Amino acid sequence: MAVVSSGLLLLIFMFLILILMPVLIGIGVYRDAKARGMEPWLWTAVAVLVPYCIGLIIYLVLRTKHKGLKCGSCGTGVEPDYAVCPHCGAKLKYTCESCGKPVAADWQACAHCGAALPQGRTPLVAAAEAPSSKPLWIILGIVIGLVLLLLALFIGIPFLTFAGFAAV
Ligand SMILES: [Zn+2]
Ligand SMILES: [Zn+2]
């Protein structure tokens, strides 16, 4: 009887871990991806659905290369090709006063019409400070810990069962 109930407890425990792990990973990746301007749902799906934490590891590797940009006016995360901030409406790109086409901040002359451009302009988007990568590494540590615990349990159950029968 004691063996059955402890076995059941272990099963419930493992079930909780199996549910809890993807939820923890999903929340961490979703928040992190959103802060970086990466596709949050896509990366959450990759991190949760690709087995053995491979999706999570792929995300951790790729996220370091993704430089976030923010609106110079309100600080909202923006994509490099945005012309206007979707949040506050501030212009994020310079346009040529002569032809109205977009020009880069460091151009001396308009590439479209050849008009001279005013100098000393600063980019209207700023690099977003990288969000701390600590929370995600903590989650990864917990996940690895849980996986090791699960392995220990799988090895432990036959031993416990054997010990239980031996006691009887
Ligand atoms: Zn803005
Ligand atoms: Zn022009």
Give the model confidence (pLDDT) of 59-106 as tens digits.
888 876 666 778 878 877 787 778 888 889 888 888 888 998 888 878
Same domain, 107 and 138: no
Domain with 112, as residue range(s), is 68-129
- The sheet with strand 77-78 has its strands ordered as 77-78, 69-71, 125-127
Distance 120 CA to ligand 2 centre (A): 17
List, in sequence order, the alpha helices (H) in the chain.
Answer: 2-36, 40-49, 54-63, 134-167
How many independent structural domains does the chain possess? 2
Ligand nearest to the CA of 69: 1
Q: Within 13 A of 83's CA, how many CA atoms are on the CB side? A: 6
Same domain, 115 and 102: yes
Same domain, 117 and 166: no
Q: Is the pTM of this model over 0.75?
A: no
Same domain, 112 and 75: yes
Same domain, 80 and 104: yes
Same domain, 140 and 167: yes
Same domain, 62 and 5: yes
Same domain, 59 and 137: yes
| Ion ligand 1 contact residues with beta carbon within 5 A | 71, 73-74, 76, 85, 87-88, 90
Same domain, 5 and 52: yes
With a pLDDT cut of 90, the percent of the chain lying above it is 7
Same domain, 106 and 150: no
